[in-house]
Amino acid sequence: MTSRFNLTKEHPMPLINVQLFEGRSTEIKRELAQALTAEACRVLGCGKDAVDIIFTDIKRSDWARAGELWSDK
């Protein structure tokens, strides 16, 4: 497919940061990294070496929605 081929040549280089509540296991992160990388490559038409993913754990007491910490909800 032409547009995908062009995307490949253009190196889309996705760098993905995933912020999520702490407590996910390494097994879950491993599976999520594989899944997000596979989908990014499929949609963007790039090789998987081009994909970086960084997970950032957030404490529920460090995230607020509607002015209320998640640890208080």
- Give the residue numbers marked as catalytic: 14
Is residue 16 a contact partner of residue 10, using CB atoms and an 8 Å limit? no
- Beta carbon of residue 1, minimum distance to its own copies (angstroms, whole number): 12
Is residue 11 a contact partner of residue 50, using CB atoms and an 8 Å limit? yes
- Beta carbon of residue 5, minimum distance to its own copies (angstroms, whole number): 13
Distance CA 29, CA 53 (A): 10
Q: Does 31 bind its own copies (CB under 8 A)?
A: yes
| Cβ closest to its own copies, residue 5 vs residue 62 | 62
Residue 40 φ/ψ, nearest 5 degrees: -60, -45
Q: Under the rule (CB under 8 A), what is the footprint of its own copies? A: 7, 10-21, 23-24, 26, 28-40, 42-44, 48-49, 51-58, 61-72
